[in-house]
Structure formats: C-alpha cells, structure tokens
Amino acid sequence: MEGFNMWKRLLSFILTITLIFGMTVTTFAASGDINIFVNGKEISNDAYVNEEGKVMVPLRQRAEELGYIVTWDNVEKRVTISNEYNTIHLKIGESSVIKNDKNINMDTKSIIKDGKTFVPIELFSNTLNLILGLDDKHQVLNINQFTNNQEEFFKVSNDTEMTAKLNEYMKALEKNENFHGSILIAKEGSILLNEGYGFANFDQNTLNKTQTKFAIGSVTKQFTAMAIMQLSEKGLIDVNDSLSKYLPDFPNGDLITIHNLLTHSSGLVNFTELMEFYTLSSNNQTPMDILNLVKDKPLIFKPGEKFSYNNTNYLILGMLVEQLSNMSYEDYLQENIFNPINMNNTGISYGKNNGLHDATAYSGYLEVVPIDDEVLLRGAYGAGNMYSTTEDLYRWSEALKTEKLVNKDTMNQIFKEHIDMEGVGSYGYGWMIIDSEVGKIILHGGNTLGFTSSISRVVDLDLTIIVLSNVGYYDTTTLVNTLTSIALGGVHELPEALTEIEIKDADLYDKYIGEYELAPEVICTITREGNRIFAQLTGQEKFEIFPCTEDDFFYKIVDAKITFVKDDGGNVTNLVLHQMGQEISAIKIK
C-alpha cells in the first residue's frame, strides 16, 4: 500500500528486490546453547541441533512443564504423554506418533541421548498444538500455550457455510501459491475465520497458528498516531505545532508541523530508501542516528504541498512520544494502549523487553529463503517496529469503535480524510481511508524484508480482515480484496497451481532475448543460458523465469509474471510485467 501509481509500484518493487538480495541472506542454523522459554519463563538451554539441522528438545522436561503426565515403557521403548484432552504415543527411533488414535508423521525421529528422550520441536507445534517461535540468530526457542479469548466479540459466527468458503480459498492459496501466515475475518462482532496457514519455520516444520506473533511493519504507524493523539488530549502537544517547538535545531523545523508528520506531507527524505541505512549497526543505532541520515538533506517538496509516504515522519513521531511522556516508546505503548485492551501478545521487536516474533522471516514466493530482518525492525522505531498477532490486532480494531483509548472527537480526527493520496483515497492519522463499491474502508498495510501485514475494515458493513504473513512484500491488497468479496457473497475462483511446461524447442527463447523499456531508465533484460531463460530489471540480480505457456512465464522467487507479445509476423514487440496487481507494458528496444 505504499506506492500509488504504476511507476511508483514498479520502482518500489525494484528497490525491494535489490535490498533483499544485496544483503547477506543466510540460512540460519541453530548451534550451541539454545535458550528455551515456556510460556514466557526461561527454562533451560538443553536443546541441541542434529545433523539435519533439526532442533531437538528433551521430551519429559518440556512436556511436564506444560502440564502433561509422561510415562515410559522400557520394554516397548515407548513414551506416552497425556492430559485430560489428549493422549500421545511415540516410539523411540520412529518418526510417527499416535495422537488420540490418529497417526501423525514427523520429518524427524525421536531418539535417546544421554539417557533422555529427545524429540524435534515440530512435535510440540504439530502434535501438541503449541505456538513455537525459533530465533536461530539469537538462539532463542519460545514455546507457548494458547490463551483463551474472553471478549464477547470473539464468538464464532453461525454462518458455517461462509466460514467453509473462506477456509477453502485460503487452503487453496496455501497449497498452490505457498501462502504462509495467519488470517482473521470478523463480521458484525463474530468470527468468520480465524486460522493459521503454512509454516512458521520451514526448516523445522513448525506451523503458523492463530496466536503466532509476526512483525507488522507499517501497521505500527496507527499505534504511534494514537499515542500522539492521546498526548494531544492531555495538552502535551498540538498537531498544528511546528516541529521546531520540540526539536529546536531541526532543519526546516519551522516549516514542518506535527500534522505534516502524521499525514506524510512533510517533504522529508524517507530513510528506508537510503542504502546507508541498511549498513548501520543494528545493535548500537538510535533513532537520532537514523534521523541524522536525512535531516540535513533538502526537502523534496514544500511541507503540506502533497502526500508522499515516508517512514521518517513516524520515526520522529515515535521520538516525540518518548520526549513528551518521559517514557520509552515501548513502555508508553504497553501502559497506554496494549494493557488497556488486553493486547498481551504484542510488543516491540528486539525491544528492551526482549520481545520476539515467533514466525521466521522469509523472502520469496513459490520458493522462499530466510532473511535477516533485524536491521529494519530495530531501525524502523515508530514507523514499523512492532510485532503482534491477528487476534490482538482484532482487539485493537474493536477498541477503535469505543472510547477506551481516546474520546470520540479525537477518534474522528484520526479517521478524518486529511490529505489526498494521489487519487486512490485519503490519509488520516496512521490510516488510509478509501471510498469503495462496498462503502468506506479504513486500512493500512505493512511491509518489511521478511513480513507483510494488513488490517482493513469496511466500516458500514462492520467487516474486518486482518492478514499477517512471514514473507516480505506479499500482495495483501489482492488477497484482502478477494476475501472481502467472498465474505460479501461475491463470485470467486480458487487459486490454481502454476505448472511449468517443457519447451521442446529451446531456440524459441531466442525470440525473447533483448532489452525492454518498462519506464525511463528502467530496463528489463531477457537472456538465455542453454535451456533456461532469465529476466533482469535495472538494479537487480537476474532471476530465472519459468514457462507456463509458450509466451507466458512466471517467477518463483517473487509473485510476478511476464507475457511476451508478438505481432502478426511472430516477432516479439513487447512484454507485459504482471506484478502487485499491475500490468506494465514494455517495448522491446534492443
């Protein structure tokens, strides 16, 4: 949601891929001591990593900590773990377990080591139905039980047919397009869909759940805006104040107002578009270190002149929250927003409370690779440093219908259409407001290198859709539109798998070789290597594309397709790039 015309989206796509593959992308493998936390309490570091890279933990200790009774059959070499709901049998040396008479297969066998039974962590995720979060880089394993949702608005909808349709679509998306994440859809105060899909960690075979924590990127902005407006109600700040009132030495601070920051109309340079930001040390940087990268650069436009989405604005607003409240940004949100509305699974990524998301960050599409997202999550601050769950974000959405956090007049200011977003809609304070065929929609998306988020509410129909995914720059716009249509009874098609076909005459590729102009100074270069064909956009690495018809090709590393267009004589004249809901034609120039 951060680009609002064709070229802006295309250039954003180019920048994103460049950043991801220009950084060190490492397949992390846990090694050494792994610090284990069960329900938030640090337990031990007695896990280890086997030769296949699977994290193994001692079964008896972890199961008993979770309230299970563990028994050992020395004759059969079989372990039984049970509570009032489940009975699980597993045999040493086998990769399958029996849960309530149902067989469940795992990727890894249980073993005895140093007199203890060790099992892969996938057993806790997939058999015991616990929430698993593994941070390989920091050697932390979180194991959490589900918490009960006590609020009335978490009641399950009676429309089971609609729930089945929504789940059928998501299951097809999971199977055929490798979707992994969590989805919550609610209508008129009851839940239509609340499910996790795909893997939280592909290497460990652990699953996403309804209470899995994801980094939420720019969805953070609405919380920062709420904090500012709470401080405004207390008389500590006025949206019409100039920035220089709070940062006296800030260049152009007399021209930029708090309102400009809230509405992305400051004219400041966006720090996440500067490559030097990604070279900062993630351990020692402060908000001021990042602000120093941009504060002395000339304004892009006169403050208030127009809308231009910009993370620098909300970096500064987060700093002002700290300055005015005499609290850390993290403590302020916890005390004044999270706690009052029971957002107990929400926090600041890599903050002082050592909060971590559960899902592993990935980049890709049909093929994914783990990505180190720490520099962005630490550096985004008030612009995008939070993690949360779909259920907690639903609590947030429902609270916005009340006066639990601010009064009605302030809420109206937050959702007022303050500035036009280039004809697509308007921006309020931390929210986008769009008039659509189904009525007014308030929404916001978030993208990081390894996570994507979206929260959307059709106001008049009281329809809320929350999407969290542990893959960066996922096309949530198309997904939310489709889920909205399904929830409102619209016609839809199930996602189908992209099937690669065999091109028997690889010389056909020679017709496609050349350069195609997508935009000024943006070239798509098509090359051939033997029986393989590659596409390379300006500033990117080259990526292989795969044929699904003779003229249609798809990427596996990103959700994009290329169609080659021929004239009546069979000569290729241009290509069409399909990506992020856009179709961009490029003329062959060489």
Q: 557: domain CATH number?
A: 2.40.128.50
Say yes or no: 547 and 471 in one domain.
no
439 and 368 co-located in one domain: yes
Angle of CA points 340, 287, 393, to nearest 5°: 30
Residue 71 sits at φ, ψ, to 5 deg, of -125, 150
Nearest to 182 by CA among 12, 391, 437: 391
Asked if 504 and 519 touch (Cβ cutoff 8 Å), the reply is no
Q: Are residues 336 and 227 in the same domain?
A: yes
Evaluate whether residue 62 is within a structural domain: yes
193 sits in the region (left: phi over 0; alpha: psi -120 to 50; else beta) called beta
The CATH number assigned to the domain holding 80 equals: 3.30.457.10
d(CA 288, CA 51): 44
Same domain, 339 and 414: yes
Q: Do residues 258 and 247 lie in contact, with contact meaning Cβ atoms separated by under 8 Å?
A: no
In a domain, 534, yes or no: yes
Whether residue 361 contacts residue 450, with contact meaning beta carbons closer than 8 Å, is answered with yes
Range of the domain at 383: 214-487
In this structure, are residues 549 and 529 in contact, taking their beta carbons and an 8 Å threshold? no
The structure's pTM equals 0.92
* Residue ending a domain, choose from 457, 487, 517: 487
Length of the chain counted residue by residue: 590
Distance CA 269, CA 340 (A): 35
- Please state, in angstroms and rounded to a whole number, the distance separating the CA atoms of residues 255 and 268: 11
Partners of 197 in beta bridges: 181
CATH code of the domain containing 403: 3.40.710.10
Do 369 and 418 have their domain in common? yes
Q: Is the residue at 191 inside a domain?
A: no
User: Distance between CA 186 and CA 589 in Å, rounded?
Assistant: 50
Same domain, 392 and 244: yes
Q: Is the domain of 314 the same as that of 443? A: yes
- 26 within a domain of the structure (yes/no): no
- Looking at 440, 460, 487, the residue that finishes a domain is 487
Which pLDDT tens digits describe the chain residue by residue (590 residues)? Answer: 333 343 444 444 444 444 444 443 444 444 557 889 999 888 877 889 999 999 999 999 899 989 999 999 999 899 999 998 899 999 999 999 999 989 999 999 999 998 899 999 999 999 999 999 999 888 899 999 999 999 999 999 999 999 999 999 999 999 999 999 999 999 999 999 999 999 999 999 999 999 999 999 999 999 999 999 999 999 999 999 999 999 999 999 999 999 999 999 999 999 998 988 888 776 667 899 999 999 999 999 999 999 999 999 999 999 999 999 999 999 999 999 999 999 999 999 988 776 789 999 999 999 999 999 888 898 899 999 999 999 999 999 999 999 999 999 999 999 999 999 988 899 999 999 999 989 999 999 999 989 999 999 999 999 999 999 999 989 999 999 999 999 999 988 999 998 999 888 878 889 999 999 988 888 999 999 988 999 998 888 889 999 999 999 999 988 899 999 999 988 999 999 988 778 889 999 97
Looking at the structure, do residues 552 and 481 belong to the same domain, yes or no? no
Q: Could you give the residue ranges of the DSSP H alpha helices within 384-459?
A: 390-399, 408-414
Query: Count of domains in the chain?
Result: 3
- Give the pair of three-digit tokens for residue 152: 């009335």
Q: Is residue 367 part of a domain?
A: yes
Q: How far apart are CA 219 and CA 222, in angstroms?
A: 6
498: in domain: no
Give the three-state DSSP class for 420: strand
- pLDDT, tens only, 469-518: 999 989 999 999 999 999 999 988 999 998 999 888 878 889 999 999 98
Residue 292 shares a structural domain with residue 257: yes
What's the rounded Cα separation, in Å, for the pair 72 and 78? 6
Indicate the residue among 144, 172, 204 that finishes a domain: 144
Domain assignment of residue 414, yes or no? yes
Q: What is the Cα–Cα distance from 290 to 271, expressed in whole angstroms?
A: 7
Together in a domain, 482 and 551:
no
Shared domain for 354 and 408, answered yes or no, is yes
Q: Does a structural domain hold residue 413? A: yes
Main-chain dihedrals φ then ψ at residue 100, nearest 5 degrees: 50, 45
- Do residue 291 and residue 401 come from a single domain? yes
